[in-house]
Amino acid sequence: MAFSPTDLKKGTIFQLDGVPYKVLDYKHTMMGRGSASVSVKIRSLIDGKILDKTFKGNEDIDSANVTNKPLQYLYADASQAHFMDAETFEQFSLDGSQMEDKKSYIKEGDTYTGQFFENRLINLELPKNLPLKVTYAEDAARGDTSKSTVTKDATLETGLVVKVPAFIKTGDVISVDTTTGAYRERVKN
C-alpha cells in the first residue's frame, strides 16, 4: 500500500529504499502555485541513523510492514541484547549499537515491544514513561527542601543516573521519560 507525503505524521512508519523509517518530526510547506513539499526528520529502524528528507506532494511512499510483538528481556552480553517471545519461547537478539540509547532503561525479566521487519527483530520500542526504583540518593541537607528547584543525583536500578528533586529517597519509585532521560514524577505505591 502506498500513501502520499501529506499522510506522514510524527510516529508514522514507512519504507524507503527497502529500509523502514519512523518519522520523528514533520513540516508541511505550501509553495506558490499549488506545489507542496513535506520535510521530515526520520530515524532508520534498522541502524538508528537520523536523516532529513524532503518529499514532493505528488510522490508515492511505500508503507513498511513492521509488526510489533511483546518480548521479554533476558540478558545482554558484550555485543548483543537477548529477548524471548513468551508465547513461543523463540529468542531474538539486537546488536549493542541498536541498544545504545535503550540499555539504561531496560531490566531483566521485563516485557517490552519488539518491532519486526521481514521476520527480523529490528528495534525495541520503549514506553514514553518508565517506572524505575531509586537504588541510591543522597539525603537532602536540612533547609535545602524549602525550594522546589533543588535537585540531586539519584542512581536507578538500571544504573542510570538522573537529576531528581531533593525529596526523593532511596527506595522510591520514579517515572523517567525515556526520550529525554529526565525525571517526571514520583510514582505512588
Phi, psi (deg, nearest 5) at residue 32: -65, 155
- Let me know the angle formed at the C-alpha of 143 by 139 and 144, rounded to the nearest 5 degrees: 60
Give me the sign of the Cα torsion angle 5, 6, 7, 12: positive
pLDDT higher than threshold 70 for residue 141: no
Q: How confident is the model at residue 157, as a pLDDT?
A: 93
pLDDT tens track for 97-136: 778 788 899 999 999 999 999 888 988 889 999 999 999 9
Domains of the chain by range and CATH? 2-63 (2.30.30.30), 66-125 (2.40.50.140), 129-186 (2.40.50.140)
Closest CA to 145 of 169, 166, 163: 166
